[in-house]
Amino acid sequence: MSFRGRLRLFFALIVIVPMIALALVLFALTARSETGKADAGIAVAMRTAFAVHEETADRAEGVLRQVASDPELRAALIAGGGEQARLEELLGARRGIVRIELRYRGEGKVAVTGSPTGVAAKSAPLSVEGRPVGALAVSLTEASDFAQRVSKLTNHEVAVFRERRAIASTVEGVERAAFGDRGRAADLEVEGEEFRGRVDRIAEPSGSGVEIAVLRASSTVSARIADDRLLIGGLLLGFLLLALVSATFVSRALTGQIAKFLTAARQLARGDFTHPVPVEGRDEFAQLGREFNSMSVQLEAKIEEVERKREELEETIRRVGDALATGLDRNGVVALSVRTAVEACEADAGRAFPLDRGAFHEVHAGADGGDLEAAIESAERDAFAVRPEIGPELLEPIDPDAPPAPRRRAVRGAAAGAYALSIPMRGVLASPDPEYLGVLSIARRDRPFTSEEEELLEYLAGQAVVSIENAGLHETVERQAVTDELTGLANARAFHSTLEREIERSRRFQSPLGLVMLDIDDFKLVNDEYGHQQGDEVLASVASVLREFSRDIDAPARYGGEELAVVLPQTDSEGAALLAERMRGAIERTRVPRVGRRGALHVTASFGVAAVPESAAEKDALIAAVDAALYRAKRGGKNRVECAEPVPAAG
């Protein structure tokens, strides 16, 4: 290849290829940035929707009090279906009410009148002559009006779902299933049009599953991405043209100078850097010779500097390995190990493949290629092949007196002109015997790996294993610090932390917070008569009931001894009492198997219920109130639910 051809190739390698890579990276970043902006806008719109819902619900409070105080309407509501015509007549006389609902206490009955699409209801308990009847909820807002208002405020499309069915939407054809999980933005298609949206559940007093979805047409994001990419492409194209003109000029200048200096350059090519080019006279050849000699001296210095840098690089890699050993992000550590191995060993590709799926995620780095993958797979198969020299490794788990098994070394592989190295990642802390976590591999084309590169890969794999196991130990200790070992529930420290956090959230958002505390009846007799192992079985069975009846946002915990508790966010005292009654009934129906014997034990529990703000406003006062209610339940005959006395509202 001619010198000019080499210059063209050099230009392609240092300008065109990096620019293509830069363009791809910038295009990807542009798409990610615009998608992130769209998701941020959706999040803001969702917060606006929640604020509008809260504001709308608050407006219904005054009407709720009027309805609760109207004797005719109360009577019609309490009568339920038998007074439906009268109820609708009374409702029609009250302008602005969209939906009234009464949930009868303990009967599972519901009296509803008005629009089935009413949302943003306000709820309060309803009593007749001092006797609780149930919970009354009033809504002043149609779901369609709510959706239109939020859409106008946020400039987003809005949909409202109840029990996963659309009850209002500003865009036709939207379905709940298209959104996937709540709280996460996702791409979806509605009537052939692409959208990006998010759905979240919103609290309604009736307990029905009302969800709000916010959508934005993907065409807007796509248009912005296209505009950004067009701008980036124009700038890069201008830079490429400028570089092309400059390269052409430089190429012609260099070829002319090289033609004049060819003879002197051949003399230098036969020797080393200690033989300078002879310099005579003061013409252009002499000046070029002096520059060439100067360059020769500088090149020799650069070689020495490069050697020094190589030694520094090795030391840096060692330090990176030490950092891997102390890291607690196992997936980040493995990814760093793969990237470091690829860069330090000048490989084209690398990967870490887990044998234990819980150890880390599969990681790939570098170029893709069938030959590289085939070489890696060949090396990985050989890495785990059973050979006579690794027999002690098989004896180690069954013979405690056997000498320690030698560690496996890096294994080579090759396929279609590509070469690979693989090293098994064997744990050192696992019990009772070490396990293989995975395998670390690198590959490149054209030349095999050296023994120094093998040692470097083994070192990085070893440090990654140490870091993975350190992360596992840290996660175990962290989990044990907040978990009760016997029941699997949160321990007392985690309970107090959760309760403080939820009380602060209740105060900030003016939402109710329920607290249920239970004590297993006659638990001491169980321990005394059947033993502590049987007592542990009773505790574990009761804890299972609490987990079964708790929502995702609830926090069951072991408060101490045979006392357990459940923190109930967004739940008033009535709702907490209903849940406590269901738990009490489930515990009463539970049969705990006898330990070491046939048969089962019958257990019961007493419950105390309190709530913020009805029973208390602070944590200590709330715990005291629920303790007092629990004591009344015990004193009143056990196996029952007692609610804390309400405290007077602050003047």
Q: What is the pLDDT of residues 239-262, one digit of tens each?
A: 888 877 777 776 665 565 565 556
- pLDDT, residue 431, reads 46
From 279-293, 309-323, 411-425, 522-536, the region with the lowest mean pLDDT: 309-323
**CATH 3.30.70.270-classified regions of the chain:** 492-643
From 98-107, 417-426, 447-456, the region with the lowest mean pLDDT: 98-107
pLDDT at residue 607 is higher than 80? yes
DSSP, collapsed to helix, strand or coil, labels residue 558 as strand
Q: Which residue has the higher pLDDT, 265 or 243?
A: 243
Pairing of strands 349-354, 436-445: antiparallel
- pTM as predicted: 0.38
CA nearest to 644, candidates 618, 604, 619, 612: 612
**Judging by beta carbons within 10 Å of its beta carbon (0-12, 13-18, 19+), is residue 198 exposed, middle or buried?**
buried
> CATH 3.30.70.270: does it fit domain 492-643?
yes
pLDDT digits (tens, 9 = 90+) for 4-61: 677 677 767 777 888 788 878 887 888 788 888 888 888 999 899 889 888 888 888 8
From 166-175, 230-239, 423-432, 511-520, the region with the lowest mean pLDDT: 423-432
Terminal CA-CA length for the chain: 94
pLDDT band at 464 (very low <50, low <70, confident <90, very high): confident
pLDDT over 70 percentage in the chain: 77
State the average pLDDT over residues 479-499: 86
Please list the alpha-helical segments (H only) found in 449-596: 451-481, 492-509, 523-530, 532-549, 573-589
Distance CA 336, CA 324 (A): 8
Q: Which of 380, 537, 562, 642 is catalytic?
A: 562
Give the right CATH number for 327-481 from 3.30.930.10, 3.30.450.40, 3.40.1790.10, 3.90.330.10.
Answer: 3.30.450.40
- pLDDT, residue 432, reads 45
- pLDDT, residue 275, reads 58
pLDDT at residue 389 is higher than 90? no
pLDDT over 90 percentage in the chain: 24
pLDDT, averaged across the chain:
80
DSSP-based helix, strand, coil % in the chain, nearest 5: 55, 20, 25
**CATH 3.30.450.40-classified regions of the chain:** 327-481
pLDDT at residue 224 is higher than 70? yes
DSSP secondary structure, 155-210, as one string: TSEEEEEETTEEEEESSTT--GGGG-STTS-EEEEETTEEEEEEEEEE--TT---E
pLDDT at residue 513 is higher than 50? yes
Q: Which residue has the higher pLDDT, 420 or 388?
A: 420
**Whether residue 163 lies in the annotated active site:** no
pLDDT at residue 405 is higher than 60? no
Distance CA 501, CA 8 (A): 66
CA nearest to 544, candidates 487, 603, 595: 487
pLDDT band at 626 (very low <50, low <70, confident <90, very high): very high
CA nearest to 198, candidates 190, 211, 210, 223: 211
pLDDT at residue 554 is higher than 90? yes
pLDDT digits (tens, 9 = 90+) for 308-348: 766 656 666 665 555 555 556 778 888 888 888 888 888 89
Sign of the CA dihedral with 384 first, then 390, 395, and 399 last? negative
pLDDT digits (tens, 9 = 90+) for 531-541: 999 999 999 99
CB 327 within 8 A of CB 319: no
Place of tokens 């002319």: 256
- pLDDT, residue 92, reads 54
- pLDDT, residue 16, reads 80
State the average pLDDT over residues 146-164: 89
Q: Which residue has the higher pLDDT, 502 or 5?
A: 502
Q: Which residue has the higher pLDDT, 196 or 83?
A: 196
From 168-177, 360-369, 569-578, 639-648, the region with the lowest mean pLDDT: 360-369
Q: Which amino acid is at 67?
A: V
pLDDT at residue 527 is higher than 70? yes
